[in-house]
Chain A
Amino acid sequence: MSAVYARRSVVNIVALTLSGLATLIGLIFLVWILWVTAQNGLGAIKLSLFTKITAYADQGGLSNAIVGSLIMDLMALLICAPIGVLAGTYLAEYASSTRLGATIRFLNDILLSAPSIVLGLFVYVIVVIPTTELTDGRISFSGFAGSVALALIGLPVIVRTTDEMLQLVPGTLREAALSLGIPQWKLTMQVLMRAAFSGILTGVLLALARLAGETAPLLFTAFGNNFMTAHPLDKMASMPVTIYQYTNDPNPTLHAIAWAGALLITLFVLALSLLTRIMFSRKKVSYE
């Protein structure tokens, strides 16, 4: 009897120790990656990053990539936020129990983890190829194409959060508004959206955090550009793609610049995800 008991408690102790060890492994990798990024990045952050462009790489500039990334991220949000919020509203308010709603919700979850490089290829085929052929190659890769690809990354995040956040709004609020004779669209836009506003905003920020770090969908949509441009139909540089190119380059000066860019992007994305986490934890949805 005691032999059996001893064996069981040994198994228990070993298993629990291993699970603690597993957590430690996860944390070690997190600290390792962040440490390496901070260590290499901090030393390389200089004022020239923000003032010089990548055309003269030895001057250590990233300004056109920073501007390009900001423009494309913003355009991507402008595309996917309205569509995503409206689609999420449809799922929560009109199709919460229909077969169509269930299908869309299901497929949205798949889009959420679909490989981003394929979404880049998709935009290449539907945006880059047609614009190239229509304009005889004057407009091929463009910042606009890049934003469409990024919008596809952000869209499912916004759809999902909006859907979930609206479902958290109590039904009594809907009934109260409807009983006053408010039409459905006004109820949705002026009552429900307001009630779920902070939740929906969280979704948009979450989408921004996801698409800001994406490289693969930009490679063959926005391509890259060594000069400063704000024109959405030009080839456009972006932080992740520039980092990718500089990392592939044998020149160690460029590696240092890539690390500086990597640190900037990581800080931006981590700050955003921490912000959303704080917004989430405070209260899921605020009803006032």
Chain B
Amino acid sequence: MSATSAEPIPRDTEHRSRTDARHDLFFRFLLRFCAMLVLAALLGAALSTLWGGREVLFKDGFRFLFSSDWNPVENQFGALAPIVGTLVTSLIALLLAVPVSFGIALFLTEIAPRWMRGPVSAAIELLAAIPSIIYGMWGLFVFVPFMASIEPTLSDTLGNIPVIGALFQGPPLGLGLLTAGIVLAVMILPFISSVMREVFQTVPARLKESSYALGSTTWEVVWDIVLPYTRSAVIGGIFLGLGRALGETMAVTFVLGNSYNLTASLLMPGTSISSSIANEFNEAVGMHRSALIALGFLLFVVTFIVLLIARFMLRQLQRKEGR
């Protein structure tokens, strides 16, 4: 390198740099292999469930999706009831969790005194740390009886409204789609609210200050400045919650009631894709087992798409910030 050093590079240094290069190459290969395992896990989950469910998926095709006749004894597998159950409970969960999460995020970013923010947001996030089986037990032993006690009132009031009344009529069992939806709402609350809280904090202070300077109220700043600025990420957070709700198993299995009858009422027992799998898989053989794995494939594809949308929407805001 420098002109003054006339001596040649010693042999062992050259040797060492060559082994170093070889080690580096191996190390890089090892790391890349491990990273590829993440891809393999996702791809493998899709392909293996497709393979496991092939008998039913390819034999019955669309009838599998649109028939509500689920009869393992006669090898009839129509997945409409679990599909509808999954969608309805997740929808209820979103309808309840989105406004509440928004409220929590608003409270934690704009209203609460500074000393309160840390502990309260930590507490809300603890909801996400509680294992789902605990939600299930609490749901079955505590929340179901509670729902059973208020359902007569629901039927008497909401049940009389012309169009949506049919949703709230039925025997006060406590178990059912509505109860499952509410339990799911509590479960996904921390996910949606923590995304909202985080993105609300990224709104530049000068945008908000400008709005306050023009005389806006706190609510107007949030609704007209903060929310439009973070819209894509907020939608992303909602889809993230939806992805969680669709795939959740343990919390809903106990409280759904495991019934394949499709009814208009939300107070009636139902089933969902994940709870059908959890309830029946270990007793199922042959076609029945294949049908359950096919359900798993369906669930995976749907949640994959929902989560894909969620991540894309979340990235939009990061782009905007130049991250």
Count: A-B pairs, CB below 8 Å: 267
Docked-complex contact A152 and B41, CB < 8 angstroms: yes
**Residue B268 is within 8 A (CB to CB) of chain A in the complex:** no
Q: Report B21 CB to chain A, min CB distance, Å.
A: 8
Docked-complex contact A273 and B303, CB < 8 angstroms: no
Given that A213-B133, A266-B134 are known contacts, is A220 also in contact with B282, CB under 8 Å in the complex?
A: yes
Could you tell me the distance between the alpha carbons of A288 and B105 in the complex, rounded to whole angstroms?
Answer: 36
> Which of B137, B246, B249 has the most A CB atoms < 10 Å from its CB?
B137
Given that A122-B45, A243-B133 are known contacts, is A107 also in contact with B38, CB under 8 Å in the complex?
A: yes
Which residues of B are found within 8 Å of A244, using beta-carbon distances? 133, 136, 250
Q: Which of A28-36, A45-53, A60-68, A131-139 contacts B (4 or more CB under 8 A)?
A: A28-36
Docked-complex contact A16 and B134, CB < 8 angstroms: no
Q: Report B77 CB to chain A, min CB distance, Å.
A: 16
Q: Report A47 CB to chain B, min CB distance, Å.
A: 23
User: Which residue in B27, B37, B42, B246 is a CB contact (below 8 Å) of A87?
Assistant: B37
Interface string of A2-25 (1 = CB under 8 A from B): 000000110110011011111101
Which residues of B are found within 8 Å of A227, using beta-carbon distances? none
**Residue B247 is within 8 A (CB to CB) of chain A in the complex:** yes
Could you tell me the distance between the alpha carbons of A21 and B162 in the complex, rounded to whole angstroms?
Answer: 30
Docked-complex contact B140 and A247, CB < 8 angstroms: yes
In chain A, what residue has the closest Cβ to B30? Answer: A86
**Residue A142 is within 8 A (CB to CB) of chain B in the complex:** no
Docked-complex contact A270 and B243, CB < 8 angstroms: no
Given that A121-B293, A183-B23, A219-B278 are known contacts, is A12 also in contact with B217, CB under 8 Å in the complex?
A: yes
User: Which residue in A86, A87, A258, A277 is a CB contact (below 8 Å) of B137?
Assistant: A258
Docked-complex contact B132 and A213, CB < 8 angstroms: yes
Q: Report B199 CB to chain A, min CB distance, Å.
A: 15
Which residues of A are found within 8 Å of B248, using beta-carbon distances? 115
Describe A's contact surface by its main secondary structure.
helix
**Residue B304 is within 8 A (CB to CB) of chain A in the complex:** yes
**Residue A44 is within 8 A (CB to CB) of chain B in the complex:** no
Docked-complex contact A33 and B130, CB < 8 angstroms: yes
**Residue B189 is within 8 A (CB to CB) of chain A in the complex:** yes
**Residue A147 is within 8 A (CB to CB) of chain B in the complex:** no
Give chain B interface residues in 21-48, CB to chain A under 8 Å: 21, 23-24, 26-28, 30-32, 34-39, 41-42, 44-45, 48
> Interface on B for A, CB 8 Å cutoff?
20-21, 23-24, 26-28, 30-32, 34-39, 41-42, 44-45, 48-49, 51-52, 99-104, 106-108, 111-112, 120, 122-124, 126-127, 129-138, 140-142, 186, 189-190, 193, 217-220, 222-223, 240, 243-244, 246-250, 254, 274, 277-278, 281-282, 293, 296-297, 299-300, 303-304, 307-308, 311
Q: List 11 A-B contacts (CB under 8 A).
A: A23-B103, A26-B124, A90-B34, A95-B32, A215-B250, A220-B281, A243-B137, A244-B136, A247-B136, A247-B137, A248-B254
> Interface on A for B, CB 8 Å cutoff?
8-9, 11-12, 15-16, 18-23, 25-27, 29-30, 32-34, 36-37, 40, 82-84, 86-87, 89-91, 93-95, 101, 103-104, 106-111, 113-119, 121-122, 124-126, 129, 152, 155-156, 159, 183-185, 188, 209, 212-216, 219-220, 223, 240, 243-244, 247-248, 255, 258-259, 262, 265-266, 269-270, 273, 277
